[in-house]
Amino acid sequence: MECPENERVYELRAVRGRWAGFSLLEVLMVLLIAMVLFAIGLPAFLRMWHTIQLSDAANRVADTLRLTRYEAIRQNKSIECIIQPSGANPGMTVMWVDSNPNTTLDPTEQRILLGNGGNLLPAGSVPNTSGLIALAVGTVGTTNPSPGGSAVWFDARGAVKPPTSVNVFYLNSLAAPEVGFRAVLLMPTGSLQIWSADTSGNWTAVR
């Protein structure tokens, strides 16, 4: 006759054997479910990522303009923010604070590079710009600084020079045009606004 203790040992071993691992079918089912969830979530994740990149590009444009303004006030003289295609990075746009000023990008000057995640556009390729202007600035004239080469001046008081119009910088994502557009508005006083639009040009203020 077997000892009850031995019977309990055999039972424990049997239970451990049943839970020692997964069958191949169970592993394949888990992998299949994970792949389906990944396939469903990937487009939403990519859209969110491209939206973040575009918003970040607009924020960096605003920060560069703000820094140029502060530099003009600090030095008590006119300073310009220069916009040009990047010679070292084809397809990208460079903006920098010409703090010397000598119209040359020096190693110590603050700069940003705009590329596929968010780059400057001419106004003609952006939908419903008139709707944005009507909402944001009313009847004041506007200027769209060219991504192909332009500059914005600030005087020693931090106002745009000459203070006759609102400068509007339009951006979109070349990598994901479906995420819409951003607009950075530089007022004659030097204040800044950021606006967002979908692909149809329905504009809303971000800040």
Do residues 61 and 169 touch, judged by C-beta distance below 8 A? yes
DSSP letter, residue 17 = H
Buried b (16+ CB within 10 A) or exposed e, 52-82: ebbbebbbbbbebbbbbbebbbeeeeebbbb
The per-residue pLDDT for range 111-139, each reduced to its tens digit, is 999 999 999 999 889 999 999 999 998 87
SS3 label, residue 31: helix
Domains in the chain: ranges and CATH: 46-205 (3.55.40.10)
* pLDDT of 15 above 60: no
Position 156, amino acid: A
Q: Mean of the per-residue pLDDT values for the chain? A: 88
* pLDDT of 17 above 90: no
* pLDDT of 93 above 60: yes
Name residues whose C-beta falls within 8 Å of residue 93's C-beta, 6 or more positions apart in sequence: 83, 84, 85, 86, 113, 114, 115, 119, 120, 147
Q: Is this model's pTM higher than 0.75 or not? A: yes
Res 18: pLDDT = 53
The per-residue pLDDT for range 48-80, each reduced to its tens digit, is 999 999 999 999 999 999 999 999 999 999 999
Q: How far apart are CA 147 and CA 57, in angstroms?
A: 14
Cα torsion for 123, 135, 188, 82, to the nearest 10°? Answer: -30
